A and B are shown apart, each in its own frame.
Chain A
């Protein structure tokens, strides 16, 4: 048994909640929240309980929506989510991290902002956007987006971000300076001599191993990787997986050797579950070997895709695991991926899933 869990499901048409009891076997859907705005990512502040949802509306621009009463009422703000006059303006919020009294927001075009007042206003951490490598960053299919923010568990000054397609960058001084962390990750789409460049990698997901802050995992457009030195060097862990392509990567909440991936069939083959058979792939040994987890998942004619932030774990024991598809289904496992049930369907296209304790 664990605590009750709420899933925050970000979709193209609003934020939805899925609530379970402590058994994690009955789920109630509610929403859409945030005025049906496209929501790319939503998180909960573990201290205040505030829920923050980031997105962008084609009419009204970017915003971080915030609820301090469990979703009963919402406010929205883009105060400070701005670039200088003449620059391409901030279009949308893509990633959020709420901890240590701050809310960080990653946006498109790629940049990072921080709020010290609970997401009512933001200030730019502009050294990243003005990094000397900036002219070599190239937008991916979803734009030039900063889609993952990972914080060190003990040192708030240390952050890692993932940008498509620029790669992983790290700061150790709270955002004043940044360094690329892409050595060992490749760009199959680049000429041979640029295949292992300093920047330009199309990272898709970045996650930190539990209790080992120097161990990071990433799903890339071109392969799956592990780093044991805070991203300075990456080793391929893709052997044994059905493809080198996928979007989400989720570290186990307590076991640093366990990682969950959702490999797709390839970047030029439709980007869906290989052979129309859905599986989450799990390693228990840091990526040396892999096991497909299929029980309860569709194994015929299921051409589903899970995006960068579309899979999440809770802190339960055993860990719960959840993913949402671009075709609007949410699947849940309460036994670390061994078995699955579909807990929502017919939702709008799902961008993100996160778990919180309401």
Chain B
């Protein structure tokens, strides 16, 4: 009996992430446009956090969920942490209307 050949592992999608200026200003060296490799929005936030420690906590809470006044859109559709990503997706992170 021979071992089954390993299934070809799907490549992790590489996506473009657009970050709001108010967030970028909190992290020296951060840019408003960046690219990460991630399977889900959740994993994309982890990737951002590895690059700029602390960034995930600014975008998601510990429920865990995307923060109430942060919006994440992918191709015009509102996303959650569990939304899966495809190669070439543009993940647009926006600050919602808030404050006074």
> What residues of chain A have their CB less than 8 Å away from a CB belonging to chain B?
35, 58-61, 76-79, 82-87, 89-90
Contact A60–B62 (Cβ < 8 Å): no
CA distance A84 to B61 in the complex (A): 11
CA distance A90 to B63 in the complex (A): 10
Find B61's partner among A76, A77, A79, A89 (CB 8 Å cutoff).
Answer: A89
> What residues of chain B have their CB less than 8 Å away from a CB belonging to chain A?
22-23, 25-26, 54, 57-59, 61-64, 67-70, 95-96, 98-99
**Distance from B77 Cβ to chain A, minimum over Cβ atoms (Å):** 21
Contact B54–A85 (Cβ < 8 Å): no
Contact B67–A60 (Cβ < 8 Å): yes
Contact A59–B62 (Cβ < 8 Å): no
Contact A58–B62 (Cβ < 8 Å): no
**Distance from A142 Cβ to chain B, minimum over Cβ atoms (Å):** 15
CA distance A86 to B25 in the complex (A): 30
Residues of A near B59 (CB, < 8 A) are 60
Residues of A near B63 (CB, < 8 A) are 85-87, 89
Say yes or no: A61-B58 contact (C-beta < 8 A), given A35-B25, A76-B26, A85-B64. yes
Find A59's partner among B54, B57, B98 (CB 8 Å cutoff).
Answer: B98
CA distance A183 to B30 in the complex (A): 53
- Of B54, B62, B63, chain A has the most CB atoms within 10 Å of the CB of B62
Beyond A61-B57, A85-B63, 14 additional contacts (C-beta under 8 Å) are A35-B22, A35-B26, A58-B69, A59-B22, A59-B23, A59-B98, A60-B26, A61-B61, A76-B26, A78-B57, A79-B54, A79-B57, A87-B62, A90-B62
Contact B62–A85 (Cβ < 8 Å): yes
Residues of B near A77 (CB, < 8 A) are 54
Residues of B near A90 (CB, < 8 A) are 62
Residues of A near B95 (CB, < 8 A) are 59
Contact B67–A59 (Cβ < 8 Å): yes
- Could you show 17 A-B contacts with beta carbons less than 8 Å apart? A35-B22, A35-B26, A58-B68, A58-B99, A59-B22, A59-B23, A59-B58, A60-B59, A61-B57, A76-B26, A78-B57, A79-B57, A85-B62, A85-B63, A89-B61, A89-B63, A90-B62
Residues of B near A61 (CB, < 8 A) are 57-58, 61, 67
CA distance A50 to B64 in the complex (A): 32
Contact B62–A89 (Cβ < 8 Å): yes
Residues of B near A76 (CB, < 8 A) are 26, 54
CA distance A82 to B54 in the complex (A): 13
Contact A59–B96 (Cβ < 8 Å): yes
Contact B62–A83 (Cβ < 8 Å): yes
Residues of A near B96 (CB, < 8 A) are 59
Residues of A near B64 (CB, < 8 A) are 85
Q: Which residue of B lies closest to A57 (CB)?
A: B58
Q: Which residue of A lies closest to B61 (CB)?
A: A89
**Distance from B10 Cβ to chain A, minimum over Cβ atoms (Å):** 28
CA distance A295 to B16 in the complex (A): 62
CA distance A35 to B21 in the complex (A): 12
**Distance from A75 Cβ to chain B, minimum over Cβ atoms (Å):** 9
**Distance from A273 Cβ to chain B, minimum over Cβ atoms (Å):** 24
Q: Which residue of A lies closest to B68 (CB)?
A: A58
CA distance A76 to B28 in the complex (A): 11
Residues of B near A84 (CB, < 8 A) are 62
**Distance from B98 Cβ to chain A, minimum over Cβ atoms (Å):** 4
Q: Which residue of B lies closest to A81 (CB)?
A: B57
CA distance A87 to B63 in the complex (A): 6
CA distance A78 to B25 in the complex (A): 17
Q: Which residue of B lies closest to A73 (CB)?
A: B28
Residues of A near B54 (CB, < 8 A) are 76-79
Contact A59–B69 (Cβ < 8 Å): yes
